[in-house]
A and B are shown apart, each in its own frame.
Chain A
Amino acid sequence: MTNPAPEAAVPAAAMHITASKVGKIYPAHDGEVVALREVSFGIRAGEFLSMLGPSGCGKSTFLLLVAGLEAPTSGEIAIDGQRVTEPVTDVGIVFQEHGLYDWRTILGNIMLQGEIRRLPLGPLEVRARELLRRTGLEEFAAKYPHELSGGMRQRAAICRALVHDPSLLLFDEPFGALDALTRVQMQIDLEKLWLQRRQTVLFITHSIAEAVALSDRVAIMSPRPGQIDEVLTIDLPRPRDKAVVASKRFAEYCDAITERFMARGIIQY
């Protein structure tokens, strides 16, 4: 358990995303903030990988670097072997909240993917409506974001991230602002959607149970300056239905992660 990430053995070719010695320093008014220090690891194609770590350890920063929305200060990120130097577009991103455009209807928000990417809008709308139906939002297509609940808005944001069928999904605490009940339902829905397409997913969360419930692997980060502490493989059957979540092994995985954080002094009893 204490050994550093074992996936270094996996050849880089099998990786969808590779981070090599990635560092990120933000300038601040009182000096500099080292958000990430020498982060090296990979995400395999089609894998669901969660990042778990204390607040401020650089998870969001890492996601922005992968998306090409921020540039690393040192090291590099590569997608399919290509160094990331500008915003990645074969991607769907969901942020914690406020990601939707207030001035567009739910359908309009989703269709923006097609308008900006210049995709044929007819087929895209069929797909958008299908996603809305699958996420229980079909009657809300013509509503504005402020007319929806927080959970519905996040579902709409997920539809928008999926509609153009990207091979990479980036989620930054997408369910962070939701109540516990809605959150569990969203996890179930997300796994269903993902199982059909098996995109590569980088999923950031604060919830240990959420990470275990959704992921193939969980990357545990140490406090700032952020580094990958350990990458844990979650060997549980899918779909992660009630039986799996209630199983002893599920609890053991959660325990192992909790202990990891206790050893780091991040969780104290």
Chain B
Amino acid sequence: MKSQLWKSALSPVIGISLLFAVWEIGVRVTNVSVFLLPPPSRIFQEIWTHGPMLMRHASSTLGIILAGFALSAIIGIPLALAVAFSPLFRRTVYPMLVFSQLVPKIALAPLFVIWLGFGFLPKVLIAFLLSFFAVVLQSVVGFTSIRPEQVRVARSMGAKGATLFFKVRLPQALPNIFAGLKLAMASSAIGAIVGEFIASQRGLGYLVLVANGEMNTPLSFAGMLLLTLMGIVLYFAVEGVERLTTGWHVSQRLNPAL
């Protein structure tokens, strides 16, 4: 199990290192201008020299991503519960949720600025709007895909109400909930950047935009690289929690036949 974990972590690292090597050599051999495509070494240098400034922007973006994600989880999972267990709610509110997903949310972003200003809130809302539906959809699948036998066996043990929920329904739904949470983390990151593009004086999204405007391609790439790194770390943080809580399912997934 441990060695498998190492292997699964090692191969992407090797892959990315290879990509960087090819990129570096390619840029040097063809002598492409730094303004078009800076080599990785130049990007790392940029990150090194502007470290503190980049970190300030990164932490601001991180706050938005995490807040959007947390809202998605806190609101999305109870919404899924209501959809799964209340026929009335499923008939009335759920269709509205579905329709809300057809609205081009990114186009809504400028409206939020008008309504809510340039602060933290509109960006978190965009991140939330982009990410919560994945949590709802996946969690509904999780809560409704339980087999009747599994509920019946527990009820014959005397389980009802909260016991039935926490001992049976919730653990059964966790793999799906985590699938939704992982998607939500990725979308929340996109939402945060969109928000910062549109209205901000802070954050990596803002930095990339400004760097592009100044034709400072290395800085722009540095911002994007940090964003990507942040996305990867956040994604695997969710996956780590998933491993801790649903090890049975993760080990099932490791089966190469699946």
Contact = CB atoms under 8 A, between A and B. Distances in A.
Contacts of B246: 103
B11 interface: no
B149 A99 contact: yes
Interface residues of A, number: 25
A112 B154 CA distance: 9
Contacts of B251: 144
Contacts of B86: none
A252 to B, nearest CB: 36
Interface string A75-91: 00000000000011101
Contacts of B183: none
A258 to B, nearest CB: 30
Contacts of B155: 69, 87
A64 B153 CA distance: 11
Interface in B225-258: 246, 248-249, 251-252
Interface in B139-195: 147, 149-150, 152-160, 163, 167-168, 171-172, 174
Interface residues of B, number: 23
A115 interface: yes
A144 B156 contact: no
Contact of B157 (A64, A89, A102, A104): A89
Contact of A117 (B150, B157, B248): B157
Contacts, number: 64
A115 B154 CA distance: 11
Contact of B163 (A67, A101, A102, A116): A116
B67 to A, nearest CB: 30
Interface string B15-33: 0000000000000000000
A116 B154 contact: yes
B172 A101 contact: yes
Interface string A99-119: 101111100000011011100
B156 A69 contact: yes
Contact of B150 (A67, A91, A99, A146): A99
B171 A101 contact: yes
Interface string B110-151: 000000000000000000000000000000000000010110
Contacts of A105: 248
B150 A112 contact: no
Q: Which of B147, B155, B160, B167 has the most CB of A within 10 A?
A: B155
A67 B152 contact: yes
B153 A99 contact: yes
A197 interface: no
Nearest to B170: A103
B179 to A, nearest CB: 15
Interface of A: 64, 67, 69, 87-89, 91-93, 95, 98-99, 101-105, 112-113, 115-117, 144, 146, 160
Interface of B: 147, 149-150, 152-160, 163, 167-168, 171-172, 174, 246, 248-249, 251-252
* Smallest CB-CB A-B distances: 5 pairs: A116-B157, A95-B149, A89-B158, A87-B155, A103-B171
7 contacts: A64-B152, A93-B152, A95-B153, A102-B248, A116-B159, A117-B157, A117-B158
